[in-house]
Amino acid sequence: MERLPLERKVLSENDRLAAGLRARFAEHGILCLNLVSAPGSGKTSLLERTLESLAPTERVAVLTGDIQTENDAKRLARYGFPVRQITNGGTCHLDGRMIERGLEGWDLAAIELLLIENVGNLVCPSSYDLGEAAKVVVMSVTEGEDKPLKYPSIFFKSKLMVLNKLDLLPYVPFDVAAAEHNARQVHPEIEIVRTSCQTRVGLEDWLAWLRRGMSQRVAVQV
Amino acid sequence: MHEMSIAGSILEAVRTEARRFPAGHVQKVAIRIGGRAGVDPEAVRFCFDVLVQDSELEPLTLVIDFREQGEDLDLAYLEVEDGAAAART
């Protein structure tokens, strides 16, 4: 019996694809963000408000992942920017190959901001690098404040936490300070913005964060 | 539940390495999982066994070295029964 050391990551093939994507994004000066949340935290609504706030001349594109249906792409396509649905037929996350296929036929030179909406899931997407400059985790006030403690991996790997559905605070027993404290316990440097996609509170903070990222495209790399 | 994809990636690596030993058979593959990897070792084992069953890789044992700390999700080593070497003896 012969023992052979392997010593590489299980997902080294995905890491290779992600490195290729990251190089392409850098070459074209694209800021790519990977939005992750539990199902129903408001990723699509946040993207709707984002696209609606941008001038039609902005060079933005969206890839949105779901297990089934083109519903999200239909919702997002109304704003006139290039949007493509990735339906992966059952996989609980997006991977580098799906992003490569999703980008096929798009002129990357015409894109400055690429927003990827991952499949609603706080566990699996944290393992798959998509070549993004940063992950953004969306959490809403209808969830438990301890979510960052229960799913530390994604909060640890995200540069920004968007605390969404702020308009529902009067109706739910949610402690904002505790939730933010929990996120910082897992990831002390995590940045936080609070938003409501209904009242539009805090959207300016989110858009300002996006603009900062775009103006410092190298600095945002994590 | 991305453990099925993870198990698939492990088998992909085994198949790639196995090509170097056309006369041999990979008996064992070992991985390391860290507590922060977001991967459940028992689920990986379950998916692994399902994928190996009735495939050309059977029999193949998965060894999991789980560590509380860290984000590791690494392939550690393979053990190969080298048929060519066995034939020489």
All structural domains of chain A with their residue ranges: 12-215
**How many beta-carbon pairs under 8 angstroms link A with B?**
83
Structural domains in chain B (count): 1
pLDDT value of residue A121: 94
Complex ipTM value = 0.81
Do residues B35 and B70 lie in contact, with contact meaning Cβ atoms separated by under 8 Å?
yes
Whether pLDDT at A202 is above 50: yes
Residue A166 has pLDDT above 80, yes or no: yes
The predicted model gives A9-29 an average pLDDT of 94
Distance CA A169, CA A165 (A): 8
- Contact assignment for B75 to A8 by CB distance below 8 Å: yes
Percent of chain A with pLDDT over 70: 98
Q: Which residues of chain A neighbour B75 with C-beta distances below 8 Å?
A: 6-10, 12
Residue A2 has pLDDT above 80, yes or no: yes
Give residue A218's pLDDT band: very low, low, confident or very high (50, 70, 90).
Answer: low
Residues 6+ apart with CB under 8 A from A139: A37, A38, A41, A147, A148, A161, A162, A163, A164, A179, A183
The CATH number assigned to the domain with range A12-215 reads 3.40.50.300
CA distance B49 to chain A (A): 17
Does residue A222 register a pLDDT over 50? no
Is the confidence at residue B45, as pLDDT, over 60?
Answer: yes
Q: What is the mean pLDDT of residues A179-198?
A: 98
Chain A residue nearest residue B5, CA to CA? A91
Q: How far apart are CA A33 and CA A117, in angstroms?
A: 9
pLDDT band at A68 (very low <50, low <70, confident <90, very high): confident
**pLDDT averaged over chain A?**
94
Please tell me the predicted confidence (pLDDT) of residue A219.
40
B9 and A11: CB-CB below 8 Å? yes
Cβ pair B39:A12 closer than 8 A: no
In chain B, which among 33-62 make CB contacts under 8 A with chain A?
Answer: 36-39
- Confidence class of residue A220 from pLDDT cuts 50, 70 and 90? very low
Q: What is the mean pLDDT of residues A121-137?
A: 94
pLDDT value of position A221? 44
Each as own residue / partner, the long-range contacts of residues A51-55 (CB below 8 Å, 24 or more positions apart, any chain) are: A51/A76, A51/A79, A51/A81, A52/A79, A53/A203, A53/A207, A54/A79, A54/A81
Q: d(Cα A49, Cα A51) in Å, to the nearest integer?
A: 6
Q: Do B2 and A9 touch (CB under 8 A)?
A: no
Residues of A in contact with B17 (CB under 8 A): 4, 6
- Residues in chain A closer than 8 A to B6 (CB atoms): 10-11, 127
Q: What is the domain-level CATH number for residue B27?
A: 3.30.2320.50
In chain B, what residues touch A127 (CB-CB under 8 Å)? 2, 6, 37-39, 73
pLDDT for the residue B83 = 66
More confident residue, A58 or A2: A58
* pLDDT for the residue numbered B88: 43
pLDDT attached to residue A155: 96
Average of per-residue pLDDT across A29-44: 97
Confidence at residue A92, expressed as pLDDT on a 0 to 100 scale: 87
> Is A173 a residue whose pLDDT tops 50?
yes
Calculate how close chain A gets to B70, using CA atoms only, in Å: 10
Whether residue B77 and residue A128 make contact (CB cut-off 8 A), yes or no, is no
Domain that holds residue B54: 3-88
- Does B82 score more than 90 pLDDT? no
**Which pLDDT belongs to residue B84?**
56
Residue A102: predicted pLDDT: 96
Three-state DSSP class for A146? Answer: coil
A114, A59 contact by CB (below 8 A): no
* Closest in A6, A11, A156 to B36, CB measured: A156
- On whether any CB of chain A is under 8 Å from the CB of B6, the answer is yes
